[in-house]
Amino acid sequence: MKIFVDTADLDEIRELASWGIVDGVTTNPTLVARSGRSFKEIIDEIFDIVDGPISLEVVSEKAEDMVKEAESLVSKISEKHRKNIAIKIPINPEGLKAVKVLSKKGIQTNVTLIFSANQALLAAKAGATFVSPFIGRLDDIGQEGMQIVEEIMEMFINYDIETEVIVASIRHPIHVIDAARIGADIATIPPGIIRKMVKHSLTDVGIEKFLKDWKKVKK
């Protein structure tokens, strides 16, 4: 399973990429706004740090405007990085229209705010490169978010659909394990959750013991 980092924090992206575990990045306007830096400055650095799919979101509401905005975003990226850009499009009728057009233009799309397997199927039919089911938000309202990931994966496998599934809105490390067990293509994970994944109290105790024992060894 590929791991994307869900942030626009350049320091976090750079640090986690240095671990050798980051395959891509997902951003959205909220994450970019939190960074306090200009959009152009942020995306240029992200593309330099990570050689993998980078999702950038449009904010237009009409299909024609989404397409124009997507093309504008692509034009802002240096030619060597354009293969990695994926345009985040919301799942609604206008979004599907935009995905169809962008797909024909060879522009990757990440259809976002997926909350049902039906939505994912329609996005894939329209030509989406990725679909992003938001499991944490479903859990928040009392539904089992991971269930729709299971449904989507089953459908896509049944029909050899090439659209990749990005498990999004991850709240804790168990979500990551569940996504991997189901066979999801990608999990996009906030930096704080990735840091929790690498930690275990027994590991810390073991390292401390090894270091103490090493100090007892005669040099």
Catalytic residues: 88
Identify which of 167, 161, 130 has the alpha carbon closest to the alpha carbon of residue 147: 167
Judged on CB neighbours under 10 Å (0-12, 13-18, 19+), 68 is middle
The angle formed by the CA atoms of residues 155, 25 and 13, to the nearest 5 degrees, is 150
Which tokens is 43 given? 């995306």
Burial status of residue 202 (CB atoms within 10 A of its CB: 0-12, 13-18, 19 or more): exposed
Pairing state of beta strands 164-167 and 85-90?
unpaired
CA distance 110 to 89: 6
Chain-centre distance of CA 156, in angstroms? 18
Please state, in angstroms and as integers, the Cα–Cα distance from residue 24 to each residue in 66, 133, 164, 206, following that order: 22, 17, 13, 32
Q: Scanning the structure block, which residue is given the tokens 């009728």?
A: 93
The HSE-up count of residue 87 (CA atoms within 13 Å, CB side) is: 33
